């Protein structure tokens, strides 16, 4: 049993946590949800006492009745890894790249003096097997870079549970993973918690994931727990308005009344794209990776077309080819009948714009908004009324004309994504490619941006190619959907039809793996 009693935290004098109290009985999972900056991770690090310099912690953490908050650092080291295990969000960087996985799991045992070296390796082998890395396929002397993200997260779990801790903290453990991998890792965690009788503190921003995982949910906002209760009851009642707002935003479905014409705007015909791999040795033969393998589809004027698939399926490569940034080896892409290629004329380029995922990386940090928005005018030549056009674009996305004089860092993530949309709009395109455009946003901001996109589509008769890995969002904003895997389109059809009656095996797997929010 782990209990947090009135935990408060100051970071350099700024309050980050306020009176957080939680209890997790053995064998139970507590889901801690909230948007970014709500203090979820800081709660976990407070339990671990792995806080940044200048942190001031008050309140008590009790593990089996033993207060952890006033242990010395040395005694706390014995608790970490021994009685509390923790896994983090980024499996790609969480493991030491120059040490074998066996050594990294065995280290947990060795550092706590729980086993001698040879025994530790035996136990490591057994624990790795327990998390699904059988010794025949994953011997102890493998290095992290030889494993996939999901496999690395399994190694992280193995080293966190090597000493059968009483509490396992999982901080967004599946956020960086694909849905099918996520489903497997979540299943593994559920089994482990049950079998080992651990308490589990499960931190996530994803309400659907927490609804599947947790016995009890605590909702955090601005450093405080606003509502807490058993999963079923909490989801039914949603007594706190913030909880309700959060769930509504997650399920948000913008009002759309698409007017789809029959004429195709974008045609992709048998597209094929190979990537050269790194040359083997100095004179080695170059080998190629087929990223896009014979893809054909049409996007009609006024339509929203979804493109879903897991990482490495080829959707980014396809996107770059559609945008005319990279050539195809075979096949053709046409926009309104004209050929798309890296050499296409500026006016054709103008008719197709893009919004990217990362609201922080989308802008040159040294340029003002006015200059950033005007970049597409490179394609048309500067109009005489450029300032008015910039102001109009900003107002179209719900910002103010005066924002043109600011730098991108003066805006929030959601506002930046609006600026990115304004930049896409300014040259008056017909097609906008939305490349994971809402994936990095918190749910409430995401809902607003989706509304904005629906509104702009209606006002300007835009067509959208909506590329995403989040199936529920794709379902709520697209008319038709394409499912991509291994460079090919495995299924295409009306969105509702695909989601309710998937034809391809892979689509069924994908839908089965995706966690769903229970309908209230």
Partner 1 sequence: MRLPVQLVLGTVLFGLFLAAALLSLVWTPFDVTELDIAHKLAAPSAAHWLGTDHLGRDMTAMLMAGARTSIAVALLAVGIGITLGVPLGLAAAARRGSLLDEIIMRGNDLIFAFPSLVIAILITAVFGPSAINAILAIGIFNIPVFARVSRGAALTIWPREFILAARVAGKHSARISAEHILPNIANLLVVQGTIQFSMGILAEAGLSYVGLGAQPPTPSWGRMLADAQTFFYAYPRLAILPGLAIVLTVLGLNLMGDGLRDLLDPRLRRTVR
Partner 2 sequence: MVRYAATRLISLGLSLMAASLVIFAVVEVIPGDPAAFMLGMNASEETVAALRDELGLTGSLPARYLGWVTGMLGGDFGTSYTYRVPVSELIAARLWVSLPLALYALALSTLLALPIGMLAAARRGRATDYGIMGLTQLGIAVPNFWFAMLLVVLFAITWPIFPAGGFPGWENGAWPALKALTLPAVALALPQASILARVMRSALIETLGQDYIRTARAKGLTEGQAIRNHGMRNAMIPVLTIVGLQFSFLLAGAIIIEKVFFLPGLGLLIFQGITQRDLVVVESVVMLLVFAVILVTFLVDLAYALVDPRLRHTR
Q: Which positions lie near partner 2, rule CB under 8 A?
A: 48, 50, 73-74, 77-82, 85-86, 88, 90, 93-99, 107-108, 111-112, 143, 145-146, 156, 159-160, 278, 280-283
Q: Which is nearer to partner 1, 346 or 503 (CB)?
A: 346
Which alpha helices (H) appear in 197-237, and where do they start and end? 207-213, 231-237
- With CB under 5 to 8 Å by kind, the binding choice for 275 among partner 1, partner 2, none is none
* Burial call 326-336: b when 16+ CB within 10 Å, e when fewer: bebeebebbbb
Q: Does 349 bind partner 1 (CB under 8 A)?
A: yes
- With CB under 5 to 8 Å by kind, the binding choice for 88 among partner 2, partner 1, none is partner 2
What is the arrangement of strands in the sheet containing 431-435, beginning at the earlier edge strand? 352-355, 431-435, 463-468, 304-308, 480-485, 488-494
* Burial call 310-323: b when 16+ CB within 10 Å, e when fewer: beebbbbbbbbbbb
Among 232, 241, 365, 383, binds partner 1 (CB under 8 A): 365
| Cα angle for residues 467, 472, 474 (degrees, 5° grid) | 30
Cα 227 from Cα 242, distance rounded (Å): 9
- With CB under 5 to 8 Å by kind, the binding choice for 373 among partner 2, partner 1, none is none
The answer to whether 256 and 464 are in contact (CB under 8 A) is no
Among 28, 228, 353, 417, binds partner 1 (CB under 8 A): 353
- With CB under 5 to 8 Å by kind, the binding choice for 357 among partner 1, partner 2, none is partner 1
Among 361, 383, 461, 518, binds partner 1 (CB under 8 A): 361
Among 19, 358, 392, 451, binds partner 1 (CB under 8 A): 358
Among 76, 379, 401, 458, binds partner 1 (CB under 8 A): 379
How near is the Cβ of 162 to partner 2 at its closest, in Å?
8
- Binding span for partner 1 by CB under 8 A among 15-23, 80-88, 100-108, 353-361: 353-361
How near is the Cβ of 98 to partner 2 at its closest, in Å?
5
The encoded tokens of residue 376 equal: 């597409």
Q: Does 383 bind partner 1 (CB under 8 A)?
A: no
* Burial call 423-448: b when 16+ CB within 10 Å, e when fewer: bbbbbebbbbbbbbbbbbbbbbbbbb
Neighbours of 77 (CB within 10 A): 14
- Binding span for partner 1 by CB under 8 A among 118-126, 231-239, 374-382, 493-501: 374-382
Positions in the binding site for partner 1 (CB under 8 A) = 276, 323, 325, 346, 349, 352-354, 356-358, 361-366, 372, 375-376, 378-379, 420, 423
């Amino acid at each position: 049993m782990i209990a947090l009693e009135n935990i408060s935290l100051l970071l350099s004098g700024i309050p980050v946590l306020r009176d957080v109290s939680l209890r997790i009985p053995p064998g139970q999972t507590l889901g801690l949800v909230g948007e970014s900056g709500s203090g979820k991770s800081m709660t976990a690090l407070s339990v671990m006492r792995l806080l940044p310099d200048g942190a001031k912690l008050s309140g008590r953490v009790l593990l089996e009745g033993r207060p952890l908050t006033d242990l010395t650092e040395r005694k706390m080291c014995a608790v970490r890894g021994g009685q509390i295990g923790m896994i983090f969000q980024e499996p790609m960087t969480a493991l030491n790249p120059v040490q074998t996985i066996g050594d990294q799991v065995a280290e947990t045992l060795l550092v706590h003096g729980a086993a001698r070296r040879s025994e530790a390796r035996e136990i490591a082998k057994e624990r790795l097997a327990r998390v699904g890395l059988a010794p025949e396929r994953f011997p102890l002397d493998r290095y992290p870079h030889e494993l996939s993200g999901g496999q690395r997260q399994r190694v992280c779990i193995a080293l966190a549970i090597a000493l059968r801790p009483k509490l396992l903290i999982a901080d967004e453990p599946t956020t960086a993973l694909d849905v099918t991998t996520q489903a497997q890792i979540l299943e593994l965690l559920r089994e482990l918690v049950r079998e080992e009788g651990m308490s589990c503190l499960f931190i996530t921003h994803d309400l659907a994931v927490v609804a599947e995982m947790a016995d009890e949910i605590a909702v955090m906002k601005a450093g405080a727990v606003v509502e807490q209760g058993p999963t079923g009851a909490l989801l039914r009642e949603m007594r706190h308005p913030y909880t309700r707002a959060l769930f509504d935003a997650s399920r948000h479905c913008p009002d759309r009344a698409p007017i789809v014409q029959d004429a195709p705007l974008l045609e992709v015909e048998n597209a094929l794209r190979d990537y050269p791999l790194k040359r083997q040795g100095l004179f080695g033969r170059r080998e190629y990776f087929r990223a896009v393998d014979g893809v054909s589809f049409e996007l009609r004027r006024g339509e929203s077309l979804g493109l879903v698939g897991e990482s490495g399926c080829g959707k980014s490569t396809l996107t770059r080819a559609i945008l005319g940034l990279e050539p195809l080896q075979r096949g053709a892409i046409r926009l309104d009948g004209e050929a798309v290629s890296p050499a296409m004329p500026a006016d054709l380029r103008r008719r197709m714009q893009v919004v990217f995922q990362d609201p922080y990386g989308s802008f040159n940090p040294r340029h003002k908004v006015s200059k950033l928005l005007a970049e597409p005018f490179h394609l048309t030549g500067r109009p005489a009324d450029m300032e008015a056009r910039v102001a109009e674009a900003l107002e179209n996305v719900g910002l103010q004309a005066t924002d043109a004089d600011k730098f991108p860092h003066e805006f929030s993530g959601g506002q930046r994504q609006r600026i990115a949309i304004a930049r896409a709009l300014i040259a008056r395109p017909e097609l906008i490619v939305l490349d994971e455009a809402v994936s990095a946003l918190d749910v409430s901001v995401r809902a607003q941006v989706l509304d904005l996109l629906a509104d702009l589509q209606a006002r300007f008769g835009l067509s959208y190619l909506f590329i995403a890995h989040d199936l529920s969002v794709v379902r709520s904003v697209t008319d038709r959907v394409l499912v991509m895997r291994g460079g090919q389109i495995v299924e295409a059809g009306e969105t509702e039809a695909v989601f309710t009656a998937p034809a391809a095996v892979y689509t069924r797997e994908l839908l089965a793996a995706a966690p769903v929010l229970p309908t209230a």
